[in-house]
Amino acid sequence: MPVLGLGTWRMGEAADRRAAEVAAVREAIALGYRLIDTAEMYGEGGAETVVGQAIAEALRAGDVRREELFVVSKVYPHNASRRGTREACERSLKRLGLDAIDLYLLHWRGEHPLAHTVEAMQALVAQGRIGHWGVSNFDTDDMQELVQVTGDGPGCAANQVYLSLGERGPEFGLLPWLRERGMPLMAYSPIDQGALAQDVGLAKLAGQLGVTAAQLALAAVMARPGVVAIPKAVRSAHLKENLAAAELKLDAATLAELDRLHPPPRRKTALAMI
């Protein structure tokens, strides 16, 4: 899995923004983004439609080959029954215009027993409709419960949670737990939905390094082993900035200063959700 991907929340919500959003996803692919994160929830299918159109155009133009892309989508918890998961996946595949989703996540825990969702996910892997399955917004105790019901089939491939310099809670407990089991943590809202780009302390430190505050925020998240960041961007300048952040290497002094500005957690806290 690449260490940087493109988020798509808030895309596909308004018809008058659709062309710009398709163009943004197209541009992202042309620039070199290979991981795209979406969900049936985003724009109630609208974001998947935007992503599907952009991928179709990129494939037609020869910008990328399908096997180079890693497409992530998510099932709503209320759909995550044995049958509902399968049906939701088929609807997502149709909107995305794909034969398979590379990683399919349970968006958050809901009313359906985990065992039923896992059974459906494993069946989708066996049928080749998804490459891997995983979860989102699962804290350590949820993960412990999940591994109890996974059985001998393919296991959980990733957990997508809120992790940023402003929300470092998962670094205590959850991230080490995932790392020990070789499961990547996908960090959502890694720029705190744009807020970290305005962070004065971060901007000062970033200025000394010749980068932007958003780039420093992203590089800080990606510096943690086992973490993948999925910032959302529509503006071309943001897309380029964020991709370049994946190349930044932070030295020990910078990491120490970041810890001073945004201290790491000293104890377990409940998992934050956006």
Ligand X SMILES: NC(=O)c1ccc[n+]([C@@H]2O[C@H](COP(=O)([O-])OP(=O)(O)OC[C@H]3O[C@@H](n4cnc5c(N)ncnc54)[C@H](OP(=O)(O)O)[C@@H]3O)[C@@H](O)[C@H]2O)c1
Nearer to ligand X, 166 or 173 (CB): 166
Per-residue binding string, ligand X, 101-120, x by CB under 6 A, is ------x-------------
Nearer to ligand X, 127 or 236 (CB): 236
Stretch 17-76 residues interacting with ligand X (CB under 6 A):
37
Which residues is 7 bridged to in the sheet?
Answer: 37, 232
Whole-angstrom distance, CA of residue 264 vs CA of residue 172: 8
Report the phi/psi class of residue 173: left, alpha or beta, with left for phi > 0 and alpha for psi in -120 to 50. left
Q: Does 257 bind ligand X (CB under 6 A)?
A: no
Nearer to ligand X, 111 or 253 (CB): 111
Q: 160, 178, 199, 222: which one contacts ligand X (CB under 6 A)?
A: 160
Q: Does 136 bind ligand X (CB under 6 A)?
A: yes
Q: Does 189 bind ligand X (CB under 6 A)?
A: yes
Residue 56: other Cβ atoms inside 10 A = 15
Nearer to ligand X, 47 or 118 (CB): 47
Whole-angstrom distance, CA of residue 106 vs CA of residue 82: 12
Which residues is 135 bridged to in the sheet?
Answer: 106, 159
Q: Does 272 bind ligand X (CB under 6 A)?
A: no
Compute the half-sphere exposure of residue 48: CA atoms within 13 Å on the CB side of its CA. 24
Query: Nearest to ligand X by Cβ — which residue?
Result: 7
Q: Does 230 bind ligand X (CB under 6 A)?
A: yes
Q: 197, 206, 220, 258: which one contacts ligand X (CB under 6 A)?
A: 197
Residue 76: other Cβ atoms inside 10 A = 17
Footprint on this chain of ligand X (rule: CB under 6 A): 7-9, 37, 107, 136-137, 160, 188-194, 197, 214, 230-235, 238, 241-242, 274
